[in-house]
Structure 1
Amino acid sequence: MNEDQIKRLLIEADATAAEPGFSPMTGAGIRSQLRRKRLVRVAVPTTAAAAVTVAAALAALWAASMRTGSPPPQPQRIASPEEQVRQLQMQTETTLKLVRDVLEKDWRERHLASLEAELASIPDPLKEIGRQVDKTAFILVYQADKLYKELNQTESAVRAYKEVIQLFPTNQWADVARERLSQIEQRQINQSGKGVSKCEPRNV
């Protein structure tokens, strides 16, 4: 390539190249750029000072924990959903166990109270036997009274009274039977006495 060709290429390049564009600079733009520069100059030292302060505080905490032997405070960890589910399950199982224990205790107490009430409703065997003996002795005395007072069967009545005394000597109706026998004997004595008194004048 000769010199003429080089010149021609330079002329064509100058013709096709666009003029450099410069945006006009206003007063507001200049003030904005100056303000940003001032903020940068202020913010950089402030940020650096804050970083140094935080680092110093962390170093102090670490040194204090090393002196006391306790680990530095750890940030509180948020439980995962799986851990929350496990915790809820454990709380539920504990609550259910407590409910079961309370229900079982209540059932035992009610069952014991029911047994005590059932035992209390059962009559005392000795008292029941005493009532039956008393009832039997009363029936025998009643039958003997009927033989003596209504049917005028004194001998049968005497045997019945003696049977009551023999079978139930300590019963209250045995005392009644003794009283009846005493009355019968007294009546017989009175009747025999009256018979003797009637015969005595004849012998005289």
Structure 2
Amino acid sequence: MTTAQAPSVLYPTQQRKQTRGILLAAAAVAAAAALLELLYPPSSAKTLTTAADYTFTAMLIPFVLAALAAITRLHQLHNRTDGRLGTAGFWLACAGFAGFLPCAIASLVTGESQALSPLYILSILASLAGLAAFAVAVFRARLLPRWAGPVLPIAWLLGGPVTAGLRGTTFILAITFIAIAITLPAAPGPQEQQSR
């Protein structure tokens, strides 16, 4: 392969396994959040009153950390082929994800479901804007299936904190992570590796 050619879309086996594992773990966390929400729906009160309310609020922490791990791994997988737009989008999405953590902690401590609501709204906007920029970069880089980039912000919009309280919507994010994990390009075979 000459340096003038586009980067290969075939990943080493170890890198592919790690990426697949992180995406599947993030999918498991999103599915668990959806199941908890379906089986033990939180109340719609402004204060946390039931165990389901506290559980639902606490679940935001691993949910956001899992999404953060997945987007971090996808960014690392691109190894700078996603360009400045991908890097900027990644960091903006990370800032948005991180903003949800103090919101969840404040809600658990104060018992108010909308504690730090301005920060929650800013986190939604930052994470969506960051994922949208990252999606464009992923689409341009062509290392993942072309649909994978645009589907990330859509899945986050429909299955993330924006739709919190709509029962089972986090399954959308779980399915997205599973689909990306399954469709990661295969590792090169022995004959392909020898020809490089």
TM range (shorter): under 0.3
Bigger Cα Rg: 1
Larger RCO (alpha carbons 8 Å, 6+ apart): 2
TM-score by length of 2: 0.26
